Amino acid sequence: MERPKPTSLPTSIPSQDIKLYQPLHLLPIGKKATISQLMLTGDMRRRLLDLGFIVGTKVQCLYHSPLGDPTAYLVRGTVIALRQEDASQIIVAF
């Protein structure tokens, strides 16, 4: 009885299939990403959802304040400033 030949595995994963995840506060200025998870709870989660921070939404880091906190993000055509404490609880993929 002959053994079946093993199927070959791909030697590399196409780059468009690889997603990098990081907290929103680490997104560099000018870079765009997609919201993949909100790790907040309670009133702050509800507030961010109301402002458009919904899973699957594109977000862009526009600029940091002179002291570095808060940071301005472009979400659904609106500029929203978030403190690092809150932005660190939003996970994005790019």
Judged against a pLDDT cut of 60, whether residue 37 lies above it is answered with yes
Is residue 38 within 8 A of residue 93, CB to CB? The reply is no
Q: Greater confidence, 63 or 8?
A: 63
Q: Residue 44: CB partners within 8 Å, gap ≥ 6?
A: 86
**What confidence category does residue 41 fall into, taking pLDDT thresholds of 50, 70 and 90?**
very high
Mean pLDDT computed over every residue of the chain: 87
What is the rounded average pLDDT of the residues 74-82? 96
Is residue 48 within 8 A of residue 38, CB to CB? The reply is yes
- Rounded Cα gap, residues 43 and 79, in angstroms: 20
pLDDT of amino acid 94: 83
pLDDT tens, residue by residue, 49-65: 999 999 999 999 999 99
Chain centroid offset of residue 53 CA: 10
- Rounded Cα gap, residues 22 and 25, in angstroms: 8
